[in-house]
Amino acid sequence: MGRSAGRRARKRDEDGGAGGLPRALALTLASALVWGVAHFATGRRIAGALLLALYLAIAVTAAGAVTVYRSDLVHLAVQPVVLQRISAALVALGVLWILVVIRSYLVLRPARLAAGARTLGAASVAVMCFAVAVPMAWSAHSAYVARDALTSIFRSGSESGKHVDTDDPFNGQARVNILLLGGDAAADRTGVRTDSMTVASVDTKTGDTVLLSLPRNLESFPMPPGPARDRFPYGFTGDGPQNPGLLNEVYEYAENHPDVVPGVAKNHRGPELLKATVAGILGLRVDYYILVDMFGFADIIDAMGGVKLKITEAIPYGLEGSVLQPGYRTLGGKEALWYGRSRTGSSDYVRMGRQKCLMRAIAEQADPRTVLTSFDKIAAAAKRTLSTDIPQELLPALMKLSGKVKDGGAQIRSLQFVPPLIYSGNPDFDKIRQLASDAVTRDPRQVSTQPSGTPSGSPDAPEGTESPKPDTKPVSLKNSCP
């Protein structure tokens, strides 16, 4: 009888008392979910209270960030320094969480366990640590990838010479004008041809946006004052018989002729000259540019899982006689590229319209879930695809404006300078400047027939261009995407 009671006592010691290993693992799991549970269960009240207080502080901070301060997160997410700190903080939090799990098991583990039970306990704790480590590591990695993409695409203001006052990022200007370029660096051509050129003029208070699109085949346009105008005093005439002097040739011409943009480094000469040229054509200041390589753009669409569009008419696709049929379609990157580039059976002007519809569809469908699930691929594609002179410090302010567009509060209108409004072979540049001025100076929320002119605070015309004349006829702007 005595020996039997002794064996039962030793068995209880090996199992760690009531519950044994199962109880220890259950409380360890509870402590992994809510810090401090294990310490309270073993009478370590001070340590348990400290862990619980730290856990609640982190939880409340996280909950407040995704609810009350959710809009601020978007602004922080485009600041490389903040992303670096977030990445480091997530790594530290993951390590701390793993240590809490391990320590919780150690204070709960029965004093004596059989070899099999010890192995089971260690394996169970390892699984818990892995479950904690994976989301922390993924989040830290995503923050690092985002920072890397931002610093690769956007230079700081000190590096680019474009200082940004964080208190007044737009320097008191009523509008910011960004030149959106679609570059077509195809294998069968030398250099980059900017076949898509649109100025997005954005109201810095409301986010209302006007898209002013210029055709690739615009001719006889004036060059900006300086070496470029000295070389082409009567308008751009190109560089030889293969380059007849179209607007989409200016970018590559500047890259091949450094003397027309003196003092500007390679790969920056094209954007600078094209910005100044477009500014002169429209009579508007052009602040920044974004160049999208159309072939790399297909990678972004593939990373998003495709883009949904309504195709209104059959579009020839590929070199094998395929066709994009009418109807609602989800296009992959290659198909979307053909949708935006095809001119077979249509024209440059129809293609311009399709490109704008494609850009709009991508912007609308790039929701947080899509971006998060394919973040690495999208970031890698963006690094290969995008180039810009927008400084990093301006990104929070631009994200705020884009949020107004996303939320539906801001209006987007478009105006294409194409026939019959403007004939690209013999353009009326006074008319172009007048129409551009009307488009950006009128409030889309008010119907007015008062002379528009160029009111105080509107974008200034660049040097060497005439201010557009007042006009009492409203400009018709519309969105034609199905």
CA nearest neighbour of 136 among 102, 83, 97 = 97
Beta pairing class for 209-214 and 288-293: unpaired
With contact defined as beta carbons under 8 Å apart, do 252 and 270 qualify?
yes
CA distance 22 to 59: 28
In terms of C-beta density within 10 A (0-12 exposed, 13-18 middle, 19 or more buried), how is residue 480 classed?
exposed
Do 149 and 280 sit in the same domain of this protein? no
Do 142 and 232 sit in the same domain of this protein? no
With contact defined as beta carbons under 8 Å apart, do 199 and 416 qualify?
no
pLDDT of 376 reads: 80
Do 205 and 144 sit in the same domain of this protein? no
Mean pLDDT within 25-49: 95
Does the pLDDT at position 187 exceed 50?
A: no
What percentage of the chain carries pLDDT values higher than 90? 42
CA distance 260 to 228: 5
Range with the largest mean pLDDT of 35-49, 147-161, 412-426: 35-49
pLDDT of 106 reads: 94
User: Where are the extended beta strands (E) located within 370-460?
Assistant: 386-388, 412-416
**Residue that is last in its domain, among 153, 180, 204:** 153
Q: Name residue 211's beta-bridge partners.
A: 200, 414
Alpha helices, DSSP H, located in 154-268: 157-160, 227-231, 250-256
The model's confidence at residue 23, banded by pLDDT at 50, 70 and 90, is very high
Mean pLDDT within 172-180: 92
Do 148 and 182 sit in the same domain of this protein? no
Q: What are the residues whose beta carbons fall under 8 Å from the beta carbon of 330, sequence distance 6 or more?
A: 306, 307, 308
**Residue that is last in its domain, among 91, 119, 153:** 153
CA distance 171 to 164: 8
Q: What are the residues whose beta carbons fall under 8 Å from the beta carbon of 289, sequence distance 6 or more?
A: 178, 179, 180, 181, 271, 274, 275, 388, 389
Do 228 and 103 sit in the same domain of this protein? no
Mean pLDDT within 234-252: 89
Domain that residue 138 falls in = 2-153
Q: Residues 295-344: pLDDT tens digits?
A: 777 888 888 888 888 888 888 876 667 888 888 988 888 888 888 877 77
Mean pLDDT within 113-127: 92
The model's confidence at residue 452, banded by pLDDT at 50, 70 and 90, is very low
For the entire predicted model, the pTM comes to 0.75
Mean predicted lDDT score pLDDT of the chain: 81
How many domains does the chain fold into? Answer: 2
Q: Residues 53-112: pLDDT tens digits?
A: 999 999 999 888 877 766 677 677 788 888 899 999 999 999 999 999 999 999 999 888
Do 121 and 183 sit in the same domain of this protein? no
Kindly report the CATH number assigned to the domain that includes residue 339: 3.40.630.190
Do 141 and 228 sit in the same domain of this protein? no
Is 473 a domain residue? no
Q: What are the residues whose beta carbons fall under 8 Å from the beta carbon of 109, sequence distance 6 or more?
A: 16, 21, 24, 121
Do 266 and 343 sit in the same domain of this protein? yes
**Residue that is last in its domain, among 153, 177, 203:** 153
